[in-house]
Amino acid sequence: MTHTEKTAPKPKQTSEPGGEAEIVSFLHGSPSALGPTGWRGEAAAGRALFYALAPGESSFRTVEEVPDYVEKSIPFFITFIGLEFAVSWIQKRKLPGRINDGISSLSLGILSRLPDVLFRSIELISYIYVWNNYRLFELPWDSPWTWYLTLLGVDFAYYCFHRMSHEVNILWAAHQVHHSSEDYNLFTALRQSVLQKYTSWIFNLPMALFIPPSVFAVHLQFNLLYQFWIHTEVITKLGPLEWILNTPSHHRVHHGRNPYCIDKNYGGTLIIWDRIFGTFEAEDAKVVYGLTHPVNSFDPIMLQLRPLAHIWNTFWAAPGFCNKLSVIFKGPGWGPGKPRLGLPEEIPVITGKEVPYNPHVPVYLNCYALVHFAVIVDLYIELLASMTMLSQGTVLVRIGFIILSLASFGLLMENKSKAGILEVIRCLVFIGAYKLGYFRSHFSFLGYAYEVLFSLSAAFWGIQIMKRITSFKDKHN
């Protein structure tokens, strides 16, 4: 048996919705879990982005029959990103974002999905468990009323979770990753936290008492996909739809760091919850995006972990046990003697002269990063497509290499001096792993091309390092 082969386990089959076979298929990563079975046309993925599928074409008896709408939507993500670039250039004669921030957002998106390669969805596993053991009654899976009730239930659960993610510091530590970009575009939609999904699942469990898992699995994806296209500045207002739906205008406010934007517009698909619970704010003054205290980094590892380190340090610095608990469970703006969510007057005033963090990077380095990032995207997609047939060792090697690469790209985008050393190491790791059989492309010529690319890249960075060493010696002689 080679590094890249393993025998996939065969889950036991059952016709019971939410039954044992569905849990087994998730635990073992069966291709049938949220797989293409029952897929009713590729075009449905595009409509799923807008929640534009009727109950009759998106209702399924078992979770195993539910299509992976998110995976099927990847081509539409790429298409819409291209359209956003074109429209932005036509409207404003400029691109909707920066290369460094775009790579950072996509890196964070990839990083957030890597745990799914090793572990099945905690959202569905926990939901199915509650359904199988504690459900009170069972709504019919094929009823339009169940479909629409689940739409409302999933979106309300998301509103509650999203609001708590801004009002509870430990949840904010994960969620702020999504808000750390100072651009607002479709790349930002993909900028996600590794840890967020491990807290959001709790808010969905009440629905498991009566809503079938297959219906929940559909709307969990639809709610997520809908939020992709609203991350853009090229769409202004949508007329009467602004009263009911979450729109680009409403969500721009949510991503703003202007004082009037803070802790507003939490809805996922619908804006009605914000109107009901007093958290709605219409777009007014020009929105400045990002965190109130910008992080000034493109390192995806640092962006994921630094908020937790900040809580850790603040926790131990806080006097008294009650204050320590408040550091964790009160708002990110809280401090001793302050209200739960902090003082609004402490939010930095927006002057309109804010400049996004944008360190100078030579053109050749941007081109280099784009080429190598495209390779990592290809390796990531191939990993998702073939993970059930790979050995655990191969999966771990590929995940480790992807993480190493994303960290290196963050340093490159900041033009850090140590980026060259990390790039040499990264390129040599790939060459070694490729020779040992841990990387094998479905297209043999592509594998050879990658080997040549990484060999030339290692040589290039080796020369750059030698030049720096020589220059350093000359200065000190």
User: What was the pLDDT predicted at 11?
Assistant: 39
Question: For residue 159, what pLDDT band results from cuts at 50, 70 and 90?
Answer: very high
Q: Which two tokens stand for residue 278?
A: 């007093």
Q: Which amino acid is at 61?
A: R
Mean pLDDT highest for which of 67-76, 383-392, 420-429? 420-429
User: What was the pLDDT predicted at 10?
Assistant: 39
User: What was the pLDDT predicted at 406?
Assistant: 98
Q: Is 4 a residue whose pLDDT tops 60?
A: no
CA distances from 86 to 79, 95, 148, 235, 236 (A): 11, 8, 35, 13, 16
User: What was the pLDDT predicted at 181?
Assistant: 97
Q: Is 8 a residue whose pLDDT tops 80?
A: no
The answer to whether the CB of 379 falls within 8 A of the CB of 327 is no
What percent of the chain is modeled with pLDDT above 70?
Answer: 89
Q: Is 329 a residue whose pLDDT tops 60?
A: yes
CA distances from 446 to 375, 378, 439, 476 (A): 10, 10, 11, 45
**DSSP 3-state assignment of 265?**
coil
Read off the pTM.
0.88
Phi, psi of 85, deg, nearest 5 = -60, -45
Q: Is 114 a residue whose pLDDT tops 90?
A: yes
Q: Is 445 a residue whose pLDDT tops 80?
A: no
Question: For residue 23, what pLDDT band results from cuts at 50, 70 and 90?
Answer: very low
All structural domains of the chain with their residue ranges:
20-277, 304-346, 363-475
User: What was the pLDDT predicted at 220?
Assistant: 96
Q: Residue 29 half-sphere exposure, CB side, CA atoms within 13 Å? A: 19
**How many angstroms from the chain centroid is the CA of residue 389?**
25
Mean pLDDT of 139-149: 98
What is the rounded distance in angstroms from the CA atom of residue 53 to the CA atom of residue 340?
41
What percent of the chain is modeled with pLDDT above 90?
Answer: 78
Q: Is 316 a residue whose pLDDT tops 50?
A: yes
Mean pLDDT of 52-68: 94
CA distances from 358 to 151, 182, 361, 433, 434 (A): 40, 10, 9, 34, 35
User: Residue 174, exposed/middle/buried by CB under 10 A (0-12, 13-18, 19+)?
Assistant: buried
The answer to whether the CB of 419 falls within 8 A of the CB of 411 is yes
Q: What angle do CA 40, 44, 102 make, to 5 degrees?
A: 135
User: What was the pLDDT predicted at 374?
Assistant: 96
User: What was the pLDDT predicted at 158?
Assistant: 98
Q: Is 34 a residue whose pLDDT tops 90?
A: no
Mean pLDDT highest for which of 198-212, 345-359, 383-397? 198-212
Question: For residue 388, what pLDDT band results from cuts at 50, 70 and 90?
Answer: confident
User: What was the pLDDT predicted at 30?
Assistant: 40
Q: Is 269 a residue whose pLDDT tops 90?
A: yes
Q: Is 14 a residue whose pLDDT tops 90?
A: no
What is the rounded distance in angstroms from the CA atom of residue 412 to the CA atom of residue 42?
37
What is the rounded distance in angstroms from the CA atom of residue 351 to the CA atom of residue 290?
14
Q: Is 245 a residue whose pLDDT tops 90?
A: yes
The terminus-to-terminus CA distance of the chain in angstroms comes to 57
Which H helix or E strand runs over 387?
none
**How many angstroms from the chain centroid is the CA of residue 296?**
19
User: What was the pLDDT predicted at 20?
Assistant: 46
User: What was the pLDDT predicted at 441?
Assistant: 62
User: What was the pLDDT predicted at 7?
Assistant: 40
Q: What is the CA radius of gyration of the chain?
A: 24
36-40, 175-179, 253-257, 442-446: which has the minimum mean pLDDT?
Answer: 36-40
Q: Across the chain, what does the average pLDDT equal? A: 89
Q: Name the DSSP letter for residue 201.
A: G
Q: Is 386 a residue whose pLDDT tops 60?
A: yes
Contacts for 214 with CB less than 8 Å, ≥ 6 apart: 17, 18, 59, 60, 61, 62, 63, 65, 66, 141
Angle between helices 392-413 and 419-435 (to 10 degrees): 160
Q: Is 165 a residue whose pLDDT tops 50?
A: yes
- CB neighbours of residue 250 within 10 Å: 23
Higher pLDDT, 115 or 11: 115
pLDDT one-digit tens code per residue, 68-111:
898 889 889 999 999 999 999 999 889 999 999 999 999 999 99
Q: Is 148 a residue whose pLDDT tops 90?
A: yes
Question: For residue 31, what pLDDT band results from cuts at 50, 70 and 90?
Answer: very low
